[in-house]
Structure formats: structure tokens, C-alpha cells
Amino acid sequence: MRQRVRIMVPLLAAGMLAVGCTGGGSTPAPQGSGAASAPAADQANPNDLPRNETLYTSGTQWGPPANFNPLREWDSATGTKGLVYETLFHFDPNAGKLTPWLAQSGSWTDDTTYEVKIRPGVKWSDGQPFTAKDVAFTFGLGKMETIPYHQLWEWLKDVQAVDDQTVKFTFSTANYQEWDFNLYNRAIVPEHLWSKLSEEDVLNGVNENPVGTGAYKFSSHDQDRAVLRRRDDWWGKTALNMEPKPKYIVDVATPSNEVSMGLLLQKGLDLSNNFLPGVANLVKGNFGLTTFYKDPPYMLSANTAWLVPNTTKKPMDDVAFRKALATSVDVKKIVEGVYGNLVKAASPSGLLPQWDQFVDQGVVSQSGFSFDKAKAKQMLAAAGYKDTNGDGLVENKDGSKLSLSLIVPSGWTDWMEAARSIAASGKEAGIDITPDFPDYNALVEKRGKGDFDLVINNERQLSNTPFTYYQYLFQLPVQKVQNTVNFGRYENKKAWDLVHDLDKVKTDDIEGMKAAVSKLEKIHLDELPVIPLWYNGLWAQSSTSTWKNWPSSAQGAPKFAPAMWRNWLEMGGFEALTQLQPAAS
Amino acid sequence: MRRYFGRKLLIYGLTFVVAVTINWMIPRFMPGDPVASMLARARVSQPEAVEAMRAYYTSLFGFDQPVWQQYLGFWGALLRGDFGISIWVFPTPVSTVIMGAVPYTLALMIPSVLLSWVVGNRLGAYAARRKLLDNTVLPVGYVLTATPYMWLAVLLAWGFGVILGWFPVAGGYSFSTRPNWSLDFVLDLLHHWALPFASLFLVALGGWAIGMRNMIIYELESDYANYLSALGAPQRLIRRYAFRNAVLPQITGLALQLGVLVAGALVTEIVFSYPGLGSLILKAIQNQDFFLLQGTFLFIVLGVLVANFVIDIVYVVVDPRTRAGMAGATA
């Protein structure tokens, strides 16, 4: 998602033309000898990985693998959590259910007590048995203030290993939705090693020799890659009857998307989780590349891109203005023109397609919005925004000039184009919007401090519950610096209380969840603190030259999300690896 | 001689101090707050946790101290060879990150700069004397120097890497192998090194050849050459003298070239995704990694100063006039 292809698009088109001409539509480009030399020779040398047993991935790691610390969920090396360390549960977005992983089962014994039975016979990679104490220890680490899940302890009272197989969690407030989220997101670390570490090392340690329960171990790493090797004594082989097929996984740190594209075409890469504009042409052509869908939008949806207005500034503090703004945005143009249909337009609620069952269509049809230039003009006029100086653009209610800037990070070319498109359609409706492209870090700072008019953001991924979505929208209190949520600084006590209410609905109570979500949806659409635009894709391009049976919408194909992205290995990424088949046989 | 080098060293010392100071200043005047972006990446939303982490990282990187103290601390650490901890690849020390990248950059730049210089000079010198060569080398040279470097590199990567598949398009060595002392690995390294090297070599080559050709023609028409020729000296001898005189400006050119050496590597390393200093600089800027940026710049400054010093010495050796001048000064 970082650097977008800029100059490569025309070049790529030219290159593809050339390939098309020379190859006459047959398989292009003979295999590069660099990444994939003869397997027979490889086996003789223990330092070489046999191509047919190795999976090459990219798109997660953007720099050298810096640490192997599973608590650093945001910058640890790819696979640290998910391949090396594991969680108690996995989450299956298709079924909307948790699947037991390190836990054999888990249940609420009463309203505020959760009991986990862990799987017997699981061993850490150093041979020590995995016990309930490790689980209790891991969650106990959260008591340290600097641990990312420290906040859990505001409503978790106690965690105890009752015996070797049983862990008991006692809550002061049972936030069922958030708890499920924690169950499949927290990597369990071994007590016998981690209890010796200082707080400093727990948070900042490199953890050079990670000891996990997972199916892989790191075997080496360098500035531009990390190599994982399968553990043949992994517990899941017998307990889950699963085995990830690649013996080795090489995760390539991609410096740019162009290079990913090159590697993919050279067949030196099997799975690229990069955003590759124009990939639709490659999928349609005979390049041996596949994506989840054969047709638009090609990818599963991973998160929602919103237009976030700063609700503390005029005129964005006016609901009527925000609604007119939302009505002025021509999302279809962005989806088709900027993305070439690689993404889907968002529903007015912005809830991801995987959460479709929670969308209250009644609320949407009553309070939703859709692109309509004439209506946007009308709404502006009705709300008192008039064009007094006759330049075709409306002024503030008090007659002062209305001019907004929309910021997106410099270099994110698709978002830059989208911002231009939003500005253009805004101007047609009479709202003066100027796109502005500050450096990413400068943008983060402005966004955090509330020093902006409009910003595009997508920092909430799919999860087990719409709770995380509405937490992003409504979280209170608004701080001096807003780090991850509610960048628009929207304050609505009632909405935040409703988010808490949703949190307290049991996760198997779908009807209860629907009812709570419906109320939030209504507030969202009536107040529009953020304007949903489109669903960003789970970018995944895979090459069928070495591995086949990639997840796809086709009949009989696996339906897991093919992603190595952080926190996605628990949401189907790992399962997708178990479904692969060598292409040769 | 001693005074000459003493003066040079003093100038280099001053340059070093100024460069380091600027080097320290620039990242601090860039917009944005590195700790804030680090926390934003951490995706921690709970205010207490954020505050705790912010305080922790701010003191870890020393941003809570007054600016003058940060500056003095920077010099202190520098003299101890401590460049701090990278923000981007936290918690790896900057020196480790740089040391991992330096061999690649040097292995790429030194041969390409020196070889293109040597070969370019030879080619240029020959071209000045042979019509046929002149008519071929010169136009090609002009095309090569005029080519935007970026474009040539992308063309090479696309043509030889993706279309023909002769060369890999990314990495310092195959993603399927591990560093080891074997012939296979060395060959693999060379295989990955070839394209970036070729792109740098080709672009520089044209410039040197053109320069040398023009210099030789100029020298061959100068008075001393005509005089030698009138005396009946063999053509070979005249050309040797001409070459020696013509090479002096080229040496100065080389010194300048060494100065922009790393800048050249930046684009190469990005296009070929080669793991050197150039890609580090880009990443450091993008991630607002003060310490990494300082470290790499410092390395470049040192490199440029050392290169220039070496050229100074070379000058003394190849140009008798410098020696004569120094003798005059000390006498």
C-alpha cells in the first residue's frame, strides 16, 4: 500500500504489448535462471532452497525484518505471528466463527468468566510442553503499560491457570465482542523463556531466536528477506490434520511494487500481496497469474476507505454540509477511472461485504446517501451555503470564503488520483476542494493533531465484529493527539455508549448484534462523521507456475483469504497455505 | 609537502565538522514527528498506552532533551562510533544496518566508476585518432550520456530481466540461497550484480569517452605536439604525451564523480532493488528515521572526503607541476 506504481504503468503497457507480439499470446518470458535454477543442482547444496518446495511471498515486509517479537504486531517480521507464534483461536471470516487453534475449546462458564481448555500434546519448538501457564502468562504481560493490549486489563480482572490444561479469565466487565477479537489476535509466548525478560525486552526485544508453537521456524534472514522452514513435528499435523505445503517460505521485502510485478512475471514470486495497478490485464492475459475473482473486483475486500472530515472545523461541523459533501462524491468514477474496477464502491454504511448480514437495509434506504450532483447543490442551498460572489462555488454561511483541502500521502498514486477526482466532483457541486499531498509522516502528524480539513483513511481491517468498525468511528474521549481512530474528532456520547453496548452483546447472539449495529448505523448515516467511499482490496496476486489450488471464487477452490499480511494469517492466510498443491504433479 | 597536506587536512577537518552539523540539523527540520509516526504504526488506540509509549520512545531517542544537549550528545556518540538505533528497523543499531548495506554499494560503485573511467578514457583516446571509431563511439557516447539514467536502468531491467529472463530483477543474491563461501554463491552474486553494474557503467562510459576524445584532439593540436612533430619525434611518443596531459582534467572529473557516487547508486539500487546505501537513504527519509539518515549521510561525507584526499595524493604523483609548486612553497 505504500509506494504506488507511477511511471511503470505506461511502461508496463508497452512491455506487455511487446510480450504479446513476440510470444503470440503463449506463455511469456522464459523462466529467469536467477531465482529458479535447476532443482537437481539445488538439492546438492544445503544452502539452496529447492524451487518446488519453496513459496515466495511479498507485500507485507517493506524493509529488513527488524524483529521477531510477536508482541510487536505491527513491525515484526512476516509470519512471526501466525507461522511461528500462534494464537488460541483462528477466525474464519466466511463462516463468521472462531475456530479452535491452540485452544481446544473455550466457553463462558458464567456471564463474566471465560474458560479455555488448551490442546494437549503441543510443544514449543525447544521441546518444552505448552501449558495453560503460558496462556495465563501471555495475557498477564498486558499489565505492563507499554504492551499493546494493556487496555484489556481495564475490564479483565484476573487470569489463572487452573491446571495444566485450563485457563480461567475473570472479567469485571465482559466485553464479549472485543474478547473474541483478543482470542484470535494475541500470540501466545512461552513463559519459561519470556518470564526472564525485562519489560524493556518484552516490548523492544529483537527476539533473535523465536521459540514458538507454530508450523514454521525462521531459518535465516537478511536485509531483503526472511526465510522460514517448516517444522515437521508441528502439532497441527495430527491434531488438526493440516499441513502447510511449502517446506520453505521466503518472504521478500519489497522495496517497490514495480519490483514485485517484475518478480511475479519472472516466476520468482508465488504470492504478491502488493497493490499492482493494471493487474486486471495480466489476469485476463495468459500470464499464469490468478486473483480471487476472475472478474471485477478481482480481490476480496479488506478494509473500507473513508473520507474523514474534521468535525471540529467549519463547515465540517455542520451535518447538513457533511451530507451534501457525501452526495457530491462520484465514487463510481473513482472505482472505474482510478482503480480500473480493482475495488468495489462501499455501501453507505461502509460495513465490509463480509459483514453484510449486519447491514440494516431499512436504515440505509431511509438515511443513506448516493452520488447526485443536483441534489448536492440543493442540499447546500437548503443548508444556507450560497454562492454570493458568483464564481460557481459556495461560500460559508457567514459569507466568508469556503475552501477546503483534502490531504493524502504523497506517492500513494491511487489515492492521489482519487483525491483529485473527489475535488473535481466537489467543485461541480459547488464545494471548493483542493487536493494536497504532504509527505506521509507530515500527514500522520497533521491527522493526529486535527490540523486538516479532509483526509482519506482506511486504517481498520476486517475483523470478527463490526465493533472494531464503530470503535474507529466513535471512540471517545478525543485526545490531544488522535493516533488510530476518530481522526475527525467527532464527539457523540450516545454513539460511544451504543458502541459499548454492542461490545457487551454475546458473539453468538447474531440478532442482538444486528439490533445494536442497526442503531449505530442510523447514527452514522444521520450524522456522517466519516463518509465511506470504497472497499480497498485484499491485494493478492498469485502465480500458478509452482503452486496451484490458490483460493478463488471458482467452484471447489479454497475460499480462504490468501494473505501474508500481519494479523491476516489468523483469518485464513495460514489455512490457504495448507491447501496449496505443487503445480508439477 | 607537509604544509600542503597539513592545509588539506585542515580543510577536510572543517568540512567534516560543518557537514556533520548540517547532517544533524536537516532531519530535525523536516516536517513530522518520528515518534508520532512510530506510534501510529503501532496502532495502539488506548490513550494511556499511547502516552506511556510516547514518553518511553521520546526518552529512548533523546528527543526530550534540549536541542543543544542533543547536538553535543550526537558528537559524543559519534566519536564512540555509536550512530544510535534505527527508528525504521527498530531496534537494530544504525551501524549494523549500514554495515549490511555498504558492501553492496561499494562493490557496485567502485568498479563501475573506475572501470568506466579507464575504459572511457581509452576509448576516447582511440576515437580521437581513428575516423571509423570516432564515427561510431562518439554518437553512441552522446546517446548514452544524454539518456536519463532512470530510463536506461528500467529498460535494462525490463528487457534483460523480465522479457529475456537472463538476469534477475531484484535482490543482491537469489532469494533461494543463503550466503556461503561457495563458487555457486559468488556466481549468483555476480549474476545479480551484472545488470546494475552495466547500467552505471554504460551511462558513465559515454561521458568519459567524449571528454577524453576532445582533450586528445586539443592536445594533439597544441604547440608542444606540433613542435615535437617538427623535431621528428615518433607519433607514438607524441600521443603518449598528449594522453598524459589529457588525463589530468579527467582525474579532476573523477574526483567530482566520486562525490556524486552515492547519489548515482540511489536510483540504481531502487530500480534494481539492490540492497545498498541508496535504498537505505530513501527508506530513512520516508520513515523519518533521523538516525539512519544521519548515519548514511555521515558515511557518504566520509567517503567523499577520503576519495578527494586520495585524488589529492594521486595528483601529486601524476602531475609534476604540483610537486614543483610545493617545492617552491617550502623553499
Neighbouring C-beta atoms of residue A125, cutoff 10 Å: 18
Place A442 in a pLDDT band, splitting at 50, 70 and 90. Answer: confident
How high is the pLDDT of residue A41?
36
Q: Which of A9, A58, A223 to mutate to test the interface with B (most CBs of B within 10 A)?
A: A223
Residues sharing a CB contact under 8 Å with residue A309, sequence separation 6 or more, in sequence order = A316, A322, A325, A453, A454, A488, A529, A530, A531
How high is the pLDDT of residue A471?
93
CA B114 to chain centre: 12
Do the interacting molecules here have an ipTM over 0.90?
no
Please report, for the domain that includes residue B300, its CATH number.
Answer: 1.10.3720.10
Facing residue for B288 by CB, picked from A15, A262, A441 = A441
A346-357 tens-digit pLDDT: 999 999 999 999
Facing residue for B44 by CB, picked from A256, A259, A484 = A484
CA distance A65 to chain B (A): 7
Residues of A in contact with B101 (CB under 8 A): 223
Place A233 in a pLDDT band, splitting at 50, 70 and 90. Answer: very high
pLDDT of B201 higher than 70: yes
Element (H or E) spanning B252, and its range? helix B235-259
Q: Which of A5, A225, A441, A481 to mutate to test the interface with B (most CBs of B within 10 A)?
A: A441
Question: Are A186 and A158 in contact, with CB atoms under 8 Å apart?
Answer: no
Residues sharing a CB contact under 8 Å with residue A345, sequence separation 6 or more, in sequence order = A331, A332, A335, A533, A534, A535
CA distance B235 to chain A (A): 49
CA B130 to chain centre: 33
DSSP conformation letters of A197-225: S-HHHHHH---SS---SSSEEEEEEETTE
DSSP summary character for residue A149: T
Cell of A476: 471517545
pLDDT of A2 higher than 80: no
User: What's domain A301-537's superfamily in CATH?
Assistant: Dipeptide-binding Protein; Domain 3 (3.10.105.10)
How high is the pLDDT of residue B137?
78
- Interface A–B counts its CB contacts (< 8 A) at 210
Facing residue for A54 by CB, picked from B88, B176, B182 = B176
Residues of B in contact with A8 (CB under 8 A): 154
Q: Which chain B residue is nearest to residue A41, measuring alpha carbons?
A: B184
Neighbouring C-beta atoms of residue A498, cutoff 10 Å: 19
C-beta atoms of B31 and A75 within 8 A? no
How high is the pLDDT of residue A244?
95
Number of domains in chain B: 1
How high is the pLDDT of residue A307?
96
Inside any domain, residue B41: no
How high is the pLDDT of residue A48?
80
| Residue A496 Rama label (left phi>0; alpha psi -120 to 50; beta) | alpha
C-beta atoms of A440 and B286 within 8 A? yes
Question: Are A384 and A314 in contact, with CB atoms under 8 Å apart?
Answer: no
pLDDT of A40 higher than 90: no
**Judged by CB atoms within 8 Å, which residues 79-138 of A form the interface with B?**
none
Residues of A in contact with B39 (CB under 8 A): 483
Q: Which of A17, A33, A37, A47 to mutate to test the interface with B (most CBs of B within 10 A)?
A: A47
Inside any domain, residue B75: no
How high is the pLDDT of residue A493?
95
Lowest model confidence (mean pLDDT) among A64-68, A236-240, B88-92:
B88-92
How high is the pLDDT of residue A443?
87
Q: What is the mean pLDDT of chain A?
A: 87
Facing residue for B40 by CB, picked from A34, A66, A444 = A444
Place A26 in a pLDDT band, splitting at 50, 70 and 90. Answer: very low
**A19–B contact, CB cutoff 8 A:** yes
Cα separation, B254 vs B211, in Å, equals 12
CA distance B168 to chain A (A): 5
pLDDT of B330 higher than 50: no
C-beta atoms of B48 and A34 within 8 A? no
Question: Are A216 and A229 in contact, with CB atoms under 8 Å apart?
Answer: yes
How high is the pLDDT of residue B166?
86
Mean pLDDT of A407-417: 88
Inside any domain, residue B135: yes
Q: Tell me the torsion sign for CA atoms B8, B11, B17, B19.
A: negative
Output A549 or A20, whichever has higher pLDDT. Answer: A549
| Most confident residue range from A192-201, A303-312, B36-45 | A303-312
Lowest model confidence (mean pLDDT) among A157-166, A278-287, B26-35:
B26-35
Domain that holds residue B272: 2-31+83-330
pLDDT of B155 higher than 70: yes
A518-527 tens-digit pLDDT: 999 999 999 9
**A198–B contact, CB cutoff 8 A:** no
Residues of A in contact with B191 (CB under 8 A): 33-34
pLDDT of A124 higher than 80: yes
Residues sharing a CB contact under 8 Å with residue A504, sequence separation 6 or more, in sequence order = A173, A174, A175, A176, A177
How high is the pLDDT of residue A19?
35
